[in-house]
């Protein structure tokens, strides 16, 4: 079955979207916030915090980037009205970074004002390395307006540790992930063991400097290593959280972390651009295809 799962996962990009949608459903909470809302609420009721992302990236039209910006602004007010335990994550290229830094700065200014008005938190996602410097500039702008601002660092980039050193402070809030974009060996570690080592080094640095660290990984071994270090060094629970993507199986680890009193946040994507995102997730985890097929043919 695992070979068949991989074959289906590889074939989905060339098949009609109606065929792919049942396989995408586990990873995407819907096409609109109204569809995503019950999933977010259900997670909250189980004890999980959430962050939402409107799917999409690399917008090259100014009017479209401004429309998406307004959607993000509206999202903050909808979260407050619905009283959800949820913050917001934004990809800078979704709001214009492929157009210009100035265009994105104007758009992110509107979004961070909405975060401030609703007393919520904004996270700027990190994309491929060509956007790193600009994303950090956007983050510096946000943090000067509203302290509830954060950014992401990718452990596979050589530069990430030094970037963290340049920003670390008790007010610093960073999500650390391994990194998913294809990057040259000139700027990024290629071996998973090297990436894991750098991930651990970055997390240690942030927590030793009393910053806040969102540990974003599905690597159970890495979680165990960091959890052991956290316990050995008496790191207070309000300085960190664990983060995972919506729909990725974690073998009961998330519930175990919750039972220990740790904060666990689920990254919940929604939007009309669900197809490409879902294909990436399915290629990373083809086993989900077997579960979907079983459900499709299950006797009622």
Q: Which residues are known catalytic residues?
A: 125, 175
Structure tokens at 122: 């904004």
Q: Which residue has the tokens 């299950």?
A: 298
Structure tokens at 116: 């401030």
Give the Cβ contact number of residue 95 at 10 Å. Answer: 31
**Angle, nearest 10°, between helix axes 160-167 and 132-145?**
20
Q: Tell me the C-alpha to C-alpha distance, in Å, between residue 252 and each of 221, 249, 262.
A: 14, 8, 14
As a whole number of angstroms, the distance between CA 53 and CA 90 comes to 6
| Partners of residue 279 on adjacent β-strands | none
Give the Cβ contact number of residue 196 at 10 Å. Answer: 19
As a whole number of angstroms, the distance between CA 291 and CA 298 comes to 10
As a whole number of angstroms, the distance between CA 59 and CA 64 comes to 7
């Amino acid at each position: 079955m695992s070979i068949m799962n991989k074959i289906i996962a590889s074939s989905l990009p060339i098949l009609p979207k109606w065929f792919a949608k049942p396989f995408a459903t586990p990873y995407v909470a819907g096409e609109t916030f109204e569809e995503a809302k019950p999933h977010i609420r259900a997670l909250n009721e189980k004890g999980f915090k959430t962050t939402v992302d409107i799917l999409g990236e690399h917008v090259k039209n100014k009017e479209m980037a401004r429309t998406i910006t307004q959607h993000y602004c509206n999202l903050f007010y909808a979260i407050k009205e619905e009283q959800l335990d949820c913050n917001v994550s934004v990809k800078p290229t979704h709001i214009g970074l492929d157009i210009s830094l100035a265009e994105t700065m104007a758009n992110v200014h509107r979004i961070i004002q909405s975060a401030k008005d609703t007393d919520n938190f904004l996270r700027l996602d990190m994309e491929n390395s060509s956007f790193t410097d600009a994303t950090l500039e956007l983050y510096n702008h946000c943090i000067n307006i509203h302290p509830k601002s954060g950014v992401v660092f990718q452990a596979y980039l050589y530069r990430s540790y030094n970037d963290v050193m340049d920003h670390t402070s008790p007010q610093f809030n960073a999500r650390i992930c391994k990194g998913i974009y294809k990057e040259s060996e000139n700027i990024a570690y290629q071996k998973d063991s090297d990436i894991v080592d750098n991930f651990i080094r970055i997390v240690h640095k942030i927590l030793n400097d009393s910053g806040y660290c969102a540990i974003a990984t599905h690597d159970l071994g890495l979680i165990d290593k960091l959890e052991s270090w956290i316990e050995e060094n008496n790191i207070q629970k309000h300085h960190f959280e664990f983060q995972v993507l919506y729909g990725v199986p974690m073998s009961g680890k998330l519930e175990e972390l919750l039972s220990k009193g740790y904060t666990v946040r689920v990254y919940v994507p929604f939007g009309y651009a669900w197809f490409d995102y879902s294909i990436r997730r399915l290629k990373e985890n083809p086993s989900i295809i077997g579960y979907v097929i079983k459900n499709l043919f299950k006797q009622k």
